[in-house]
Structure formats: structure tokens, C-alpha cells
Chains A and B, each alone.
Chain A
Amino acid sequence: MNLVGLVFGAMFGFVLAAGQLHDYDTIHATLRLESFYVFGLMGLAIGISAPLLWFLEKRQLATPYGGVLSLARSKIERHHIYGGSLFGAGWSIAGTCPAPALAMLASGASYGAIAVIGLFIGLVVRDQQLERSNTLITEGDGERSTLPMTKTLGAR
């Protein structure tokens, strides 16, 4: 699974850098509504993956590393809106987001390191807040902290 992670990370970083998504101007041209680039890219990514995932879920696909494919569909809660607002503000101010910040640094832009360090600080501060108040950390539907360890190769 570690190799799978490395390979998918590399392909992901490759597409982000090839699309110049690590570039401040690419992000800001879209956020200024002067370019369609990021909206079109995200829209097509969702447009391609949503129906395919729907189909694979319906077929109850057995994945080699994670058991039967199961999609997450959480209800909307307040923290999605609060967090989303903060994230959106930071996205605009720093002109990058978590994965592109890494690609930015990899492309030779040294200030990408500042963005990566800032991201780490923000994430850790939130985690420590939750730890102190004994609140369970809720992973969103696009993140999953643990990998279900049921190996179901082959037929289900």
C-alpha cells in the first residue's frame, strides 16, 4: 500500500505541476473570475469520477487493499461551513492549497516552503485544540485516517 501511495502521490503531483496549479497566478486568475481554468479542471475531475465511482459502488467492487468499495456521504454540519470559510480565505491569501504547495516547492519556488510550514502549523494547532477539549477529530469524506485492513482479493 505504501508503494500505491507513493505512485498515486507522484501522479497527482505531476498533474498539479503540469497544470501550473502551484502557480499563484493560475489560482488567482480563476479566483478573480478572469479565467475558467481551476473551475473547469475541478468540474471535469468531478464529472469524470462521480459517475465512475457511482458505477463501481453499485457493482460492489472488491478493492485489492481496502475491501469492498464504500463511498462516504456525511451530513452537512456547522464545522464544514466554518472550516470552509477559513480555508477559502487562506486559499486566496496564500494563493495555493495543500497539495499544490508541495508541488510549488518541488518546482523550485522557495516560498512554497513557507506555505507548507504554515499549513503544518494550522493543522497542528487545530489538532491540539481538539485534544485539549477531548473532542474527537472528524475526518471529512475526502480523507480517511485509517485503512480498513480487510484484504479481499478476488470475488466478494
Chain B
Amino acid sequence: MGLLPNQLPWWIAGPLLGLLVVGLFAVSNQPLGASGAYVQTIKTVRRDSDSVSWRVFYFVGIFVGGAVATILGPGFELRRGYTALHAAGWSEPLIMVVVLFGAIIMGYGARVAGGCTSGHGICGTAQRSPASWAATATFMATAVIVTFLLTSFTALGDITPAVVK
């Protein structure tokens, strides 16, 4: 609908995210980690736990909020996503396999490390947790190195990422 700009500036989105972290702590003494929400959701789906965790509602909320921001901003449009990979000339099955593979090691790694970008990267670091700072520094550095390898050795290097669309 164009009520929101296509991309909020980082100096607005960042503080908003920070206030959300503080807000959830102030209300419930809980961090805003997303990988834990995945874990609780799969437990509920497989009926592994007797009670439905609030993190399942949190999981659904992320989806709802994402849809609302999209409708208010650039507008909802059914598409495949990953335009950069398509632009690099990768075939459809290859893109699917790459995304699936990346997501699997991401999920596995998040469970090994005990958190993800939101859990360790924002909530843990904000609590001044040494473990979270170490995990965050590690995944940031690894991601930059792997991205360097991807752009150096694949056709992705010829594609310039569009910063704001």
C-alpha cells in the first residue's frame, strides 16, 4: 500500500528491535530468540509436549507481522524470491537444493550453538553473555568468509545485490 517505505532505515529498525527485546524482557523475563520458537513449534506439531508454549504463538506472530508489514509497504506479491540466485543463472532445482542445504546446516548449527541471529546475535549480546558474543562473532565471521567464497567461485560474483528495491 506504500504506507511504509520499501525499507526502513537501519537507524530506525535497529532501535525498534532493541526496544522489542527490552519490552519482552520487562513483561516476561524472556529473550526474543527465534530458533527456540521453531523448536517449540515442532514439538507442538508432533505432540511431544503436553502444553503449547507461548513461543508457538510467537512463531505465528512473526509470520503475521511479516505479512502486515509487506501489505503496508511494498505490497504482497506471490513470487519465488531469491532474485539474485535466479539472476546468476542458477537452475531452479539447484536454487532449491542450495536453499534447503543452507537452511539445514543453519538449523543444525543454531541448535548446536544454542541460538541464532536473534537469540545469540541480539538478545544474548544485549545480556552481555560471553557465550553469545563468541557465537555471534563466529557466525558473523564465517558468514562473511563463506559469502566471499560464494562470490569468488560462483556466478553470484557477477550479480550486484540491490540494496533497496
Measured CB to CB, the residues of A under 8 A from B are 1-26, 28-29, 31-38, 40-50, 52-54, 56, 61, 63-77, 79-99, 101-112, 114-127, 137-145, 147-148
Name the residue of chain B whose CB is nearest to the CB of A70.
B29
Q: How far is the CB of B8 from chain A (nearest CB, A)?
A: 5
Q: A106 vs B67: C-alpha distance in the bound complex, in angstroms? A: 5
For B, the interface residue count at a CB cutoff of 8 angstroms equals: 125
Q: Is B1 an interface residue (CB 8 A)?
A: no
Q: A144 vs B136: C-alpha distance in the bound complex, in angstroms? A: 18
The reply to whether B139 and A26 contact each other, CB–CB distance below 8 Å, is: no
The reply to whether A124 and B42 contact each other, CB–CB distance below 8 Å, is: yes
A49-B21, A141-B132 as given contacts; A24 in contact with B83, CB under 8 Å: yes
The reply to whether A46 and B126 contact each other, CB–CB distance below 8 Å, is: yes
The reply to whether A97 and B144 contact each other, CB–CB distance below 8 Å, is: no
Partner of A50, one of B54, B72, B73, B128: B128
Interface of B is mostly: helix
Contact with A along B106-126 (1 / 0, CB 8 A): 111111111111111111111
A-B interface contact total, Cβ < 8 Å: 545
Partner of A92, one of B8, B65, B143: B143
Q: How far is the CB of B148 from chain A (nearest CB, A)?
A: 8
Q: A70 vs B127: C-alpha distance in the bound complex, in angstroms? A: 9
Q: A21 vs B134: C-alpha distance in the bound complex, in angstroms? A: 23
The reply to whether A85 and B28 contact each other, CB–CB distance below 8 Å, is: no
A94-B102, A141-B124 as given contacts; A14 in contact with B65, CB under 8 Å: yes
Q: A81 vs B72: C-alpha distance in the bound complex, in angstroms? A: 39
The reply to whether B142 and A85 contact each other, CB–CB distance below 8 Å, is: yes
Name the residue of chain B whose CB is nearest to the CB of A123.
B107
Q: A52 vs B130: C-alpha distance in the bound complex, in angstroms? A: 18
